[in-house]
């Protein structure tokens, strides 16, 4: 695959190596002609069976309007030699998944800083009408600048460009561990409160060392998101401040109307815990 990608992008990007694989794409470290590193992402060929490439590329361009220091920028997108690709700014640092894998869980202070950064990024994107749809530890990089959210607009572009086979057959775009109830039921329209639920799942894991719902069977995890209340964080980690546990619990309610209604409102509430 590396040789194929190098050949396809010869003269446009110098492709160094493959650095990861996500649900939608394989990721390569590449360099622009001036030497600037970028993350070159190649959409999985099997996904193109259900996704119209031209519409995906139109949809993904919506993300280019986002300009926030804690959101990676969409730099380029297109199709070369049958490879559908998009290019994002490259961020040096470990992903939140890697950090949790090595540490098990984060301190309350570190979790609050991650929350503040990500909620600020979400507020900016939501203000432009863009929902992430796939907030998870793998899509967060912990850098010297803070916690940076990756791949904004990608999950929506996949959903919006999908055929009936993708969008009407019960296939939900997202990651089951962090998926909101409304995503699981494959509603045609979800709003910003879905991202708030997904982020709350991430923050729960940062503090508890495990997501709210865990089971070896993915279908069971999805059912738990739909039917069971999230566990009380303080039964797993008693030293978590009550206000923080309550703030995350509110974001994890099944009904969107009962959650924080904006990322900014949740950020402000959790910021008071940090100050306190």
* Angle between helix 108-127 and 263-275 (nearest 10): 160
C-alpha distances in Å from residue 27, one per residue of 39, 130, 242, 259: 6, 23, 40, 34
Q: What is the pLDDT of residue 47?
A: 76
Q: Can you give the residue range of the structural domain that contains 191?
A: 94-275
Both tokens of 40, joined, read 């070159």
* Residue 48 sits in the same domain as residue 119: no
Number of structural domains, the chain?
2
Q: What is the pLDDT of residue 275?
A: 58
Nearest to 194 by CA among 267, 124, 270, 134: 134
* Residue 136 sits in the same domain as residue 268: yes
- The domain boundary, picked from 71, 89, 107, lies at 89
Cβ(76)–Cβ(39) below 8 Å: no
* Residue 81 sits in the same domain as residue 152: no
Distance, CA of 233 to chain centre = 22
- pLDDT of 219-237, one tens digit each? 999 999 999 999 999 999 9
- Compute the distance between CA of residue 85 and CA of residue 248 in angstroms, rounded to an integer: 36
- The domain boundary, picked from 65, 89, 113, lies at 89
Q: 276: helix, coil or strand?
A: coil
Q: What is the pLDDT of residue 169?
A: 35
Ranges under pLDDT 50 in the chain: 163-172
- Active-site annotation, residues: 134
């Amino acid at each position: 695959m590396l040789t194929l990608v190098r050949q396809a992008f010869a003269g446009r990007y110098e492709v160094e190596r493959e650095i990861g694989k996500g649900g939608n794409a394989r990721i390569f470290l590449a360099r622009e002609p001036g030497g600037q590193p970028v993350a070159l992402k190649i959409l999985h060929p099997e996904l193109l069976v259900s996704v119209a490439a031209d519409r995906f590329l139109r949809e993904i361009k919506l993300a280019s309007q986002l300009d926030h220091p804690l959101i990676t920028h969409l730099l380029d997108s297109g199709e070369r030699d049958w490879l559908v690709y998009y290019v994002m700014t490259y961020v040096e640092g470990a992903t939140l998944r890697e950090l949790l894998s090595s540490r098990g869980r984060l301190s309350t202070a570190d979790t609050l800083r991650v929350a503040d950064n990500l909620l600020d990024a979400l507020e900016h994107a939501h203000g432009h009408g863009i929902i992430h749809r796939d907030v998870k530890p793998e899509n967060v990089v912990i850098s010297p600048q803070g916690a940076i959210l990756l791949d904004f607009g990608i999950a929506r572009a996949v959903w919006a460009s999908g055929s009936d086979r993708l969008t009407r057959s019960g296939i939900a775009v997202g990651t089951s561990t962090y998926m909101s109830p409304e995503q699981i039921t494959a509603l045609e329209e979800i709003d910003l409160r879905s991202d708030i639920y997904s982020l709350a799942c991430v923050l729960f894991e940062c503090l508890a060392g495990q997501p709210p719902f865990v089971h070896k069977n993915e279908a069971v995890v999805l059912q738990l998101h739909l039917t069971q209340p999230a566990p009380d964080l303080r039964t797993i980690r008693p030293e978590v401040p009550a206000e923080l546990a309550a703030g995350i619990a509110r974001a994890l309610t099944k009904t969107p109307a009962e959650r924080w209604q904006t990322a900014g409102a949740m950020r402000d509430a959790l910021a008071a815990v940090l100050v306190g």
